[in-house]
Structure 1
Amino acid sequence: MTAVLRNVLAVIAPHVGGRSAGAGLATLLPSEANVTVVEATDENPSALHEAHVLITALAPVTAEHLAAAPELRLVQCASHGFDHVDVTAARARGVLVANIGSSGSESQNVAEQTFALMLALAKRLIPAHTALVEADWALPRLQSSLTELSGKTLGIVGLGTIGREVARRAGAFDMTIVYAGRNRLPRETEDRYGARHVPLDDLLRTSDYVSLHAPLTDGTRHLLDAGRLALLKPTAFVINTARGALIDQDALADALEKGTLAGAGIDVFDPEPPTAALRLLRAPNVVLSPHVGGATRETLIRIALAAVQNATRFLTGDRPNDVVD
């Protein structure tokens, strides 16, 4: 490791483990690294000023933080998402931003969480459980709304690492798979996952389930707004395990309250944690979870290893993987 690049600032937000998690992460970096662990990006101004590499676990990295870090060369996100980093400001300062997208660290659990939400909606698990607890044998009331995944069309928005794991599992449920994204994938990839590329609006019109797996950027913020939600069939379900701001949450609440959408399974919110004013908390036919798609014991270990390995690549002179475009 060169002496020029050795200062690492690990910023681990309290809700993902804070200093205790950061201490474990620090032990994975090469012994030559000078590692400082904090819970907020501006907690230690001196360490920020001297940092060559900043590893962030969902802690914001703003333009102001970047301006205060003249030695910074890489922001490594210990996550698939990178919307908590001001990528435009980083690019302007010549700072690389990388995530762990190609590592597959989160793909298994996010795909499992996607199907947990889908199945809970299809089988009406939440109202069924609540009714039984209240001594209400709800079968006569619920049976007309119970449905199967088999034979349904799953529309995947973003057939990347996670989207492909969702598609692989959908095949086992005998679902028809369509996908939309910035670029069409090679035919052999489509054939491997049994997925057919369609324009986004066509996907929304024809899918029984729509599952979001796109990154949050200026171009994808409120990708599903009121206009696009209106394209969905009234029997369709929306699943979001990517980023909360991909959906206009008020527009989604409107659709659920009006009955123009059958239901929604939501693992991510804007902001996080959501405020008590969020209408989705009281909307009908929703299944909600607190961003647990990347939070299993196994996933957290893989995420930490992937982030550290990528930062180490950079510190030892190689270009990091998964540099954000």
Structure 2
Amino acid sequence: MTDSTDATASSAAAGEQHVLAVVPAHVGGRAAGSGFAALLPDPAKVTVVESVDEDPRALRTARVLITALAPVTAEHLAAAPELKLVQCSSHGFDYVDVAAARDRGIPVCTIGSSDAEKRCVAEQTFALMLALAKQLVPAHTALAEGDWALPRLKPSLTELSGKTLGIVGLGQIGQEVALRGRAFSMDVVYAGRRRAEPSVEERLGARHLDLDELLRTSDYVSLHAPLTDATRGLLSAERLALLKPTAFVVNTARGALIDQEALADALESGALAGAGLDVFDPEPPPSSLRLLRAPNVVLSPHVGGVTRETVVRIAIAAAQNVASYLEGKRPQDVVN
């Protein structure tokens, strides 16, 4: 690994294939990004930064840019004349200007086919659901303050068994959530851009509904759709109003799938029973975000896909795709 801009320039002059790994501080920074250097074969030389703007010379000479949730704009792409590939270290790709990359003939790849994140995100989904059903956060807080809150909490305690779980987006992660829903004896329904194959529905025990019907009938709504222009603000104020007042919303996908102000309104007014949120718009969220103080909300800082085990799988999947590309092979999981 090199952190010197002079070394970057000399490496480029020597014909080495320069890889720029961008890992923001809030997802681990340089310490997390240093692993990419060890995973890529020679003659790749890796520069690790915490933002794309940090090292303009490294950006100018980069043949490949690996990004871990760091924004990659059209301006960044224009400033990288040698760039041939953008590799996202995630299933999502909303933080990259995919259209601008397409216009410049630069493939944008994810780790979608690697299965790296699907199990741990599904586990985080159920951690949030169980915390809401069992009122774990208020129970813990009350007990830590010397308050035996059982009489007060008892009316709001529920179980998952027999409830309807509505999954929005039945991709790899959504399917893992469906399997766990069946294990909890939940009735699983789903909505998405297209209907799954009958064999998939049978394996998951899941029924297809249109989105509005799913919202009207579900006790738990779990979001697993990618963030695109079509899905931004998918749960608008109007759609949130379709939910039962006893329903819970869980989001481990992208914060911008939900109108956050409308969700805060619904929680504060009692129109919605609660929400479990692992993602926000933006990230980290500002202290002024009303959802941080809304009633019956369980929050986590985008940890669903970053267990010790998953971080290793993600890094390996991203590095393997980059290594294959540098060896002249076709990259996988191209989204543009």
Q: Is the 8 A contact 1:5 1:52 kept in 2?
A: no
Written as runs of structure 1 = structure 2, the 5 A alignment for 1:265-276 is 265-276=276-287
Matched, 1:147 2:158: yes
Match of 2:137 among 126, 135, 144: 126
Map 1:170-189 → 2, pairs under 5 A: 170-189=181-200
Distance in 2 (CA, whole Å) between partners of 1:11 and 1:282 is 32
SS of the aligned residue for 2:22 comes to strand
Q: Among residues 238, 241, 254, which one is paired with 2:249 in the alignment?
A: 238
Q: Which residue of 1 aligns with 2:8?
A: none
The Cα shift of 1:16 comes to 2.0
The answer to whether 1:102 aligns with 2:102 is no
* One-letter amino acid of the structure 2 residue matched with residue 113 of structure 1: Q
Paired residues of 2:16 and 2:45 also in contact (CA < 8 A): no
Unaligned runs of 5+ in 1: none
The alignment covers a number of residue pairs equal to 323
Q: Summarize the Cα distance change of 1:43–1:134 in structure 2 as closer, same or farther, 3 Å threshold.
A: closer
Per the TM alignment, residue 144 of structure 1 is displaced from its structure 2 partner at its CA by 1.3
Q: Which of residues 32, 42, 47 is equivalent to 2:58?
A: 47
Percentage of identical aligned residues: 74
SS of 1:238 mapped into structure 2: strand
Residue range with higher mean Cα deviation, 177-186 or 315-324? 315-324
Structure 1: distance between partners of 2:77 and 2:59: 9
Q: Report if aligned partners of 2:36, 2:46 keep a CA contact under 8 Å in 1.
A: no
2:291 to 269, 272, 280: 280
Is 1:261 matched up with 2:276? no
1:224 partnered with 2:235: yes
1:65 and 2:76 aligned: yes
| CA deviation map 1:33-57 (0-9, x unaligned) | 1222222112222221121111011
Assess if the C-alpha contact under 8 Å between 2:18 and 2:45 holds in 1: yes
Partner of 1:10: 21
Q: State the Cα distance separating 1:5 from its structure 2 match.
A: 8.4
Does the Cα contact within 8 Å between 1:79 and 1:99 map onto a contact in 2? Answer: yes
Equivalent in the alignment of 2:308: 297
**CA displacement 1:169-215 (0-9 Å, x = unmatched):** 11110001111111111100111111111111111011000000011
Aligned match of 2:170: 159
Q: Tell me which residue corresponds to 1:214.
A: 225
Q: Which residue among 51, 64, 76 is the counterpart of 2:87?
A: 76
What one-letter code is carried by the residue in structure 2 that aligns with 1:220? T
Aligned partner letter, 1:262 = A
Q: Which runs of 5+ in 2 are unaligned?
A: 1-13
SS state at 1:42 partner:
helix
Task: Please give the secondary structure, in 2, of the residue aligned with 1:121.
Answer: helix
Q: CA deviation at 1:134?
A: 2.2
Of the three residues 76, 84, 87, the one matched with 2:98 is: 87
Structure 2 CA distance, aligned partners of 1:73 and 1:243?
Answer: 27
How far residue 6 of structure 1 moved from its aligned partner, in angstroms, is: 2.4
Q: Paired residue for 1:20, among 25, 31, 37?
A: 31
Q: So what's the TM-score if we normalise by structure 2?
A: 0.93
1:4–1:191: structure 2 CA closer, same or farther, 3 Å change rule?
Answer: farther
Within 2, Cα distance between the matches of 1:207 and 1:5? 54
Question: Which residue pairs with 2:3 in the alignment?
Answer: none
The amino acid that maps onto 2:108 is V
Distance 1:233 1:5 in 2: 58
Measured in 2, the distance between the counterparts of 1:142 and 1:21 equals 41
SS at match of 1:271: coil
Distance between the aligned counterparts of 1:312 and 1:5, measured in 2? 13
> 1:202-261: CA deviations, max 9, x gaps?
110110000000111111111001000000001100000011010000000000011110
Mapped to 2, the partners of 1:103 and 1:202 lie a distance apart of 32
Separation in 1, partners of 2:193, 2:81: 34
CA displacement at 1:99 relative to structure 2: 0.7
Q: 1:250 to 1:83 in 2, by over 3 A?
A: same
Aligned residue number for residue 318 of structure 1: 329
Residue 200 to residue 221, structure 1, CA distance change in 2 (3 Å): same
